[in-house]
């Protein structure tokens, strides 16, 4: 799918206190991508998940992406009454969970500078992980 905003720049922050505080593995808050683990301990799965959100922001633009994401949170919260799961039941997360076991592309590795401190063997470890939440 074509990006409406292909030149949006993102800054990758590994070993993030912000995500650790909220007990998140990662989060994209344009222009930042916060990852809880240090670069050399970050799994390709987490990186791919967050890079899917980066792609979504570039595809739709920050305003539309975050407005729709907040709407999904609101809608899910109203339907399920569970604030924690409200972050998971939306089309953006569905796409990210579907993509997270796909291998990182060379372009994604370059953009995140992921291999600069990670080992080559880590890049080849792309074992599928079960989805972290159950569907209702």
The predicted-structure confidence for 43-63, as pLDDT tens digits, reads as follows 999 999 999 999 999 999 999
Q: Is the dihedral of CA 108, 6, 19, 79 positive or negative?
A: negative
* 133 within 8 A of 82, measured Cβ to Cβ: no
Rg, the chain, Cα only? 15
Q: What is the pTM of this model?
A: 0.81
Q: Identify the band that residue 124 occupies on the pLDDT scale cut at 50, 70 and 90.
A: very low
Strand ranges of the sheet holding 32-35, from the earlier edge strand across to the other edge? 11-13, 32-35, 26-29
| Nearest of 86, 101, 106, 92 to residue 43 by alpha carbon | 101
If one compares 76 and 25, the residue with the highest pLDDT of the two is 25
* 4 within 8 A of 59, measured Cβ to Cβ: yes
Ordered by start, the domain boundaries in the chain are 11-121
For 29-66, b/e burial (b = at least 16 CB within 10 A) is ebeebbbbbebeebbbbbbbbbbbbbbbbbebbeeebe
Q: Is the pLDDT of residue 133 over 70?
A: no
């Amino acid at each position: 799918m074509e990006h409406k905003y292909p030149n949006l720049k993102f800054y990758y922050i590994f070993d993030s206190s912000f995500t650790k505080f909220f007990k998140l593995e990662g989060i994209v808050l344009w222009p930042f991508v916060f990852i809880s683990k240090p670069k050399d301990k970050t799994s390709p799965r987490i990186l791919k998940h967050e890079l899917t959100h980066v792609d979504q922001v570039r595809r739709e633009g920050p305003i539309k992406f975050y407005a729709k994401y907040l709407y999904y949170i609101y809608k899910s919260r109203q339907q399920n009454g569970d604030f924690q799961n409200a972050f998971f039941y939306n089309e953006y997360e569905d796409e990210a969970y579907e993509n997270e076991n796909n291998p990182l592309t060379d372009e994604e590795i370059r953009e995140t500078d992921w291999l600069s401190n990670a080992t080559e063997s880590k890049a080849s470890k792309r074992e599928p992980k079960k989805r972290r939440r159950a569907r209702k």
